[in-house]
Amino acid sequence: MRRRFCHRGGMLLAALALAGCATYRAKPLANRPNLVSSVASLNRTIPAMTAKDPPITLAPTQSFSIDQIGLLAILNDPDLAEQRGQLGLAKAALLSASILPNPSLGLGFAALISGPGSTPSYAASLSQDITSLITYRARVAAARASLGSVNASLLWQEWQVAQQARLLALDIHGDNAEIRYLKRELSLLSTELAQVRQATALGNLDLTAEAPLIAANAGAETALASARLTRLKVWQQLDALLGLEPSVRFAISRPELTPPPADLTKLLTTLPERRPDLVALRLGYRTSEEQLRAAILAQFPPLALGPSGGTDTSNVLSVGPTLTMELPIFNRNQGGIASAKATREVLHAQYQAALDHADGMVHGLSTRIAVLAADLVQARDAAATARRLSRNAENAYAQGNLDQRALVDYQTTALKRELDVIAYQTRLDTDQLALGIELGVGLPRTRLVNHTGVIHS
């Protein structure tokens, strides 16, 4: 009866042990792309940033602002899908650090072969690694800081994807405006060239009148073709960020950017707490400090402590504690401590370099924005003057006081001035977007992928 009970108890323990084990399931790779053919098929629901705010679902037929396009890129960029795996690895590392090592169980049996003894000998011991308990808190703190660093790094990746999408949308808007003006210029030149050819055929003009117009017309055609090709490439890049097929197009609203703040001092002071990449570096540095603390604690020799007991061949029972430790003669974890110190120094220098670079970029962009804003004012004044001269030229041509070639020159000059305004405006908007990223403003403070917030220091 006792043997049957022991047998059933052993079976139950084995079943419980197997129930707690992980099992394997195959996960085959995809055999076809996952790009979608329309905006309606994208994930367009922007999660709530706070508990009070409801989620927002963007209509597929609406005209998207550049900020909305940035959010759509975060939600749908295929490259960001791997974030789940990166965060999972960091969580697994935290789980591993949080689990204490199993105690060691030792069993021994020696059959009696000869001698004065009367019974076989039995031995049993149970020991626990004490060193792992000493370093436990430092290891868990390091893993937790590492998880926060990974989380902040993933938020920075989302910001980079959103920024790239916003810049591409900004370029497309500028390309559309440029193409409109280039079409108008080509239309003017083509009309004049056709009229000159007609006059030449009637004998009113000689062939030399066509040469400059042919060259100008060819240049306008080349510029228009180049602008269209550039826009096509930018559209394909934006579609790739959104997980769309390369031929998908949608409406983009006119960019409306807020001017940069006049006083950057306060924003620069709080920059390390707001920019995800700097937060990630700070948490990474905290990880290195905890790892150094754990390495210093681990310089004490590995120690295992526990009870042991058994019987000898004369059936004498003995029980007592067992202590096992390494003698710290050659290795006192000097290598681990030196490696942890060196890692901390590297991360310290890396963080300082990143902070210095961010500060320099903010001041550099601020200066460049001021210069571009002044250049844009001048470009707009020049464009206004060119438009006024073009209107005067049109009135003079209608009164017969100006020939057609001079009229087209005034008109094409006005169009080129408008193109200058578009170029300056696009560069200014680009730098303003870049300044927002460098200052750590303008994008969600929590991650949209997986809806996980950043663990701040």
List of domains in the chain: 65-109+120-451 (1.20.1600.10)
Task: Answer whether 0.85 is exceeded by the pTM.
Answer: no
- Predicted confidence (pLDDT) at residue 172 exceeds the cutoff of 90: yes
> What is residue 455's predicted lDDT score, i.e. its pLDDT?
40
As a whole number, mean pLDDT of residues 113-120 equals 79
**Best CA proximity match to 147, nearest among 108, 185, 90:** 90
* 457 — pLDDT class (breaks 50, 70, 90): very low
- Residue 354 φ/ψ, nearest 5 degrees: -65, -40
- Predicted confidence (pLDDT) at residue 260 exceeds the cutoff of 90: no
In whole angstroms, give the CA distance from residue 276 to residue 161: 13
Q: How far apart are the first and last CA of the chain?
A: 62
> What is residue 5's predicted lDDT score, i.e. its pLDDT?
46
pLDDT tens per residue, range 59-114? 999 999 999 999 999 999 988 877 777 888 899 999 999 988 888 888 888 887 87
CA–CA distances in Å: residue 190 to residues 183, 214, 407, 409? 10, 9, 14, 13
- The top-scoring range by mean pLDDT among 4-8, 44-48, 390-394 is 390-394
Structure-token match 């206004």, residue found: 384
- Residue 246 φ/ψ, nearest 5 degrees: -60, -15
